[in-house]
Structure 1
Amino acid sequence: MTDVAPARPGPAPRVVLVPGFWLGAWAWDDVAPHLAAAGLDPVALTLPGLEPDHPDRGSVTLEDQVCAIEDALTGGADGVATVLVAHSGAAAAATVALDRHVDEVAHVVWVDTAPASDGFVMNPDVEGPEYPLAVQWDEEMAQGSMRGLTDEQLAAFRQRAVPQPAASLRDRVALTSPRRLDVPSTIVCTAFPAAEYRSYAEQGVPFLAGLLEYRALELVDLPTGHWPMWSEPERLAAVIADRVPRGAR
Structure 2
Amino acid sequence: MQTFLIPGLWLDASSWDVVTRAVDRAGYHAHPLTMPGLESDETDRSHITLDSHIDYVVDLIDHAPADEEVALVAHSGGALVANGAVDRRPDRVTRVVYVDSWPGGEGAIVNDEIPHDDADMPFPGWDAFEEQDVRDITPELGAQIASHTHPSPAHAAVDPLHVHDEKRLDVPTTIITSSMTPEEMNEYIDGGAPWLDEVSRLSSLHIVGLPTGHWPQYTRPDELAALVVDALGEDDESD
Is this a same-fold pair by TM over 0.5?
A: yes
- Give the alignment partner of residue 155 of structure 1, picking from 140, 143, 148: 143
State the partner residue of 2:122: 132
**Partner Cα separation in structure 2 for residue 167 and residue 35 of structure 1:** 31
- Is the contact between residue 18 and residue 225 of structure 2 (CA under 8 Å) also seen in structure 1? no
- Output the amino acid matched with 1:146: V
State the partner residue of 1:95: 83
**Partner Cα separation in structure 1 for residue 148 and residue 234 of structure 2:** 37
Q: Counterparts in 2 of 1:79-228, with a 5 A limit?
A: 79-124=67-112, 127-128=116-117, 129-137=119-127, 141=130, 144-203=132-191, 205-228=193-216
State the partner residue of 1:33: 21
Number of aligned residues: 233
Identical residues among aligned pairs (%): 33
- Is the contact between residue 19 and residue 88 of structure 1 (CA under 8 Å) also seen in structure 2? yes
- Is the contact between residue 61 and residue 165 of structure 1 (CA under 8 Å) also seen in structure 2? yes
- Is the contact between residue 113 and residue 208 of structure 1 (CA under 8 Å) also seen in structure 2? no
Unaligned runs of 5+ in 1: 1-12
**Partner Cα separation in structure 2 for residue 85 and residue 178 of structure 1:** 20
SS state at 1:106 partner: strand
**Partner Cα separation in structure 2 for residue 246 and residue 188 of structure 1:** 13
How does the TM-score come out when normalised to structure 2?
A: 0.88
- Is the contact between residue 131 and residue 165 of structure 1 (CA under 8 Å) also seen in structure 2? yes
State the partner residue of 2:219: 231
- 1:52-88: per-residue Cα shift (whole Å, max 9, x none)? 1443212211111111111222222122122210100
Over aligned residue pairs, what C-alpha RMSD do you find?
A: 2.2
**Partner Cα separation in structure 2 for residue 203 and residue 54 of structure 1:** 44
- 1:177-207: per-residue Cα shift (whole Å, max 9, x none)? 1001010000101111012123334555554
SS state at 1:83 partner: strand
Q: CA offset at residue 174 of structure 1?
A: 0.8
Unaligned runs of 5+ in 2: none
